[in-house]
Amino acid sequence: MAGNEKKPTISDIARKAGVSIATVSRVLRGSDYPVKSEVRERVTEIARQMEYKPNIFSQMLRGSSSREIGIVAPSITNPFYAQLISAAEQECLKRGYIPFICSSMGEPQLEMNHLDMLEDRCVAGILLSSMGQREGIVKRLNELRIPIMLFDQTLDSYEGDGILFDFYQGAYLSTEYLIQCGHRDIVFCSGPINRYSRRAMYEGYKQALKDYNLGISKKKLIGAISEPDTYGEGEYQLGKALGQMLLERDYLPDAIVTINDITAIGVINHLYSEGVQVPHDISIMGFDDISICEMVTPPLSTIHQPAFDTGKLAAKYLLDKIEGQITEPVRITTKPVLVERKSVRKIHRKVRR
């Protein structure tokens, strides 16, 4: 279609097909309203020939009910959350819903404010990756009269719908892999352990040490008391701060388990700037498996968390609930997968697969 041509409308299609505008609208919306099959085929073919593109934003405004889906996540700059949100966004648009994306930027109060705002907008549903740090967050979610689906993280004592991840097992696998590679002095590097995912990871890390008869002590927790303000970029700065904390110890540990890939990359770069080489001097495991893990030096060994699948499934099940296609509770936990690259030194070659 030439750039200066008028875009075809439903009225144009109706005129050419010899039917009413209402009939065209019903056909193109996939309505269950009875329309003869030959009419349905004729309208669909004419719409295709005219290269008609429905404006789902206009459809939403004309509709009697909201077509907006609120998506609330801690960050839009961290590649993991960007992929999570993108997958959810694609699923919403594919099914005729408008994603309304909100970043809490790691601020629990801002997360609560977003929930209030989305409730005021009367959105059709909410996808939430919660910080889980605000007192009363579970009570607030239970009060919402809007379908809500947690994704990525759950909340302590929350029993609602969610597409979640086994953070405990992910950290266990990460720690176990380091042990199998011959490492014994393994530390856990994290920001404040004040949300569900970090608590679960720390417990998984400790359990792996216990199962292999390795010592557990608070000295093996390298943790920053606070994190920089900007959540996505702040995770990289957190990694650099944790790297400095490691250098201030009397000696370096054999290996590090970190809370996510961005933090791990921050640790690696800070250590490198001080002459410490990964994995020659120290091994490190990331967590998430974002795309840049293969682009950094050394390529980062990590735990794969299926961000795209999580975002897509969460949106799908939320929309199914909104449309009444399912009524039973949704509680799915995806499983971690170990990804071996080059940031872990294998002291012992015999590594159990």
pLDDT band at 59 (very low <50, low <70, confident <90, very high): low
Q: Is residue 352 part of a domain?
A: no
pLDDT band at 2 (very low <50, low <70, confident <90, very high): very low
Query: Mean of the pLDDT values across residues 247-270?
Result: 94
Q: Is residue 139 part of a domain?
A: yes
Type and span of the H or E element at 300: none
What would the pLDDT profile of 199-235 be if each residue is shown by its tens digit? 999 999 999 999 999 988 888 998 866 665 445 568 8
pLDDT band at 75 (very low <50, low <70, confident <90, very high): confident
pLDDT at 58 > cutoff 60: no
**Cβ-contact 91, 34 below 8 angstroms:** no
Query: Mean of the pLDDT values across residues 231-249?
Result: 85
CA-based nearest residue to 246, from 184, 182, 187, 176: 187
Which CATH number belongs to the domain containing residue 178 in this structure?
A: 3.40.50.2300
Strand runs (DSSP E) across 129-205, as ranges? 148-152, 162-165, 186-190
- Statement to judge: residues 208 and 261 lie in one domain: yes
Q: 137-156 burial string, b = 16+ CB within 10 Å, else e? A: bbeebeebebbbbbbbbbbe
- Statement to judge: residues 141 and 248 lie in one domain: no
Q: What pLDDT is stored for residue 90 in this prediction?
A: 94
State how far the Cα of 223 lies from the Cα of 191, in Å rounded to an integer: 5
- Statement to judge: residues 278 and 316 lie in one domain: no
Q: Which two tokens stand for residue 29?
A: 């919306």
The domain containing residue 82 runs over which residues?
A: 62-166+307-335
Q: What pLDDT is stored for residue 1 in this prediction?
A: 46
pLDDT at 351 > cutoff 50: no
State how far the Cα of 29 lies from the Cα of 12, in Å rounded to an integer: 16
pLDDT at 76 > cutoff 90: no
Residues pairing with 16 in the sheet: none
- Statement to judge: residues 280 and 187 lie in one domain: yes
Phi, psi of 73 (to 5 degrees): -140, 160
- Statement to judge: residues 246 and 277 lie in one domain: yes
Q: Is residue 347 part of a domain?
A: no
State how far the Cα of 223 lies from the Cα of 192, in Å rounded to an integer: 6
State how far the Cα of 308 lies from the Cα of 83, in Å rounded to an integer: 6
The larger pLDDT score, comparing residue 326 to residue 313, is at 313
State how far the Cα of 71 lies from the Cα of 148, in Å rounded to an integer: 10
- Statement to judge: residues 50 and 66 lie in one domain: no
Mean pLDDT of the chain: 87
**Cβ-contact 253, 185 below 8 angstroms:** yes
- Statement to judge: residues 242 and 252 lie in one domain: yes
Q: Is residue 5 part of a domain?
A: no
Phi, psi of 314 (to 5 degrees): -60, -45
- Statement to judge: residues 131 and 80 lie in one domain: yes
Q: What pLDDT is stored for residue 156 in this prediction?
A: 78
- Statement to judge: residues 128 and 172 lie in one domain: no
DSSP state letters, 58-70: HHHHHSSS--EEE
Within 10 Å of residue 3's Cβ, how many Cβ atoms?
4
- Statement to judge: residues 188 and 280 lie in one domain: yes
What would the pLDDT profile of 273-298 be if each residue is shown by its tens digit? 999 999 999 999 999 999 999 999 99
**Cβ-contact 289, 261 below 8 angstroms:** yes
Q: DSSP code of 341?
A: -
- Statement to judge: residues 293 and 228 lie in one domain: yes
Q: Is residue 346 part of a domain?
A: no
Q: Is residue 220 part of a domain?
A: yes
State how far the Cα of 158 lies from the Cα of 217, in Å rounded to an integer: 30
State how far the Cα of 186 lies from the Cα of 182, in Å rounded to an integer: 11
Q: Which two tokens stand for residue 219?
A: 């000295």
The percent of residues in the chain predicted with pLDDT above 70, rounded, is 88
What would the pLDDT profile of 88-142 be if each residue is shown by its tens digit? 999 999 988 999 999 988 888 888 899 888 888 889 999 999 877 667 888 888 8
Query: What is the strand order of the sheet 331-334 is part of?
Result: 98-103, 68-73, 125-128, 148-152, 162-165, 331-334
State how far the Cα of 52 lies from the Cα of 70, in Å rounded to an integer: 28
Q: What pLDDT is stored for residue 139 in this prediction?
A: 87
Q: Is residue 26 part of a domain?
A: yes
Number of independent structural domains in the chain: 3
